[in-house]
Amino acid sequence: MSFGGPAPPLIRTTPPDRGSFPLDHDGECKSVMARYLECLRTKNGSNKKCKHISKEYLGCRMERRLMDRDDWKNLGFQDEVGDTAKTKPKKDT
């Protein structure tokens, strides 16, 4: 494009469907995340075998207001139908 030519089209961005959430800068749920990643590594990337840790991680994030509370079924846990997530996360050390 040369100077003085037609302006490029504007790129319109849209927010994520479910909103944004803060990163875990303070590492409040880091130990749960590390266990999940280790589980994935040992199970050859099979997330089904590590789903219980994934649920614990999401519970930790919700408990610490790093994401909004939501129904477990909306988070991919179809076998856990209830009002909202109420799992108490283990305290990180």
HEC readout, 53-86 = HHHHHHHHHHHCCCCCCCCHHHHCCCCCCCCCCC
* Of 42, 40, 70, residue with least CA distance to 58: 70
Please check the confidence at residue 93 and state whether its pLDDT lies above 50: no
Arithmetic mean of pLDDT over the chain: 80
3-state DSSP helix/strand/coil percent for the chain, to nearest 5? 35, 0, 65
Please check the confidence at residue 46 and state whether its pLDDT lies above 80: yes
**Cβ within 8 Å of residue 4, ≥6 positions away:** none
pTM of the model: 0.64
Alpha-carbon distance of 26 to 45, in angstroms, equals: 27
Q: What is the pLDDT of residues 15-32, one digit of tens each?
A: 556 656 678 889 999 999
Q: What is the pLDDT of residues 49-68, one digit of tens each?
A: 999 999 999 999 999 999 88
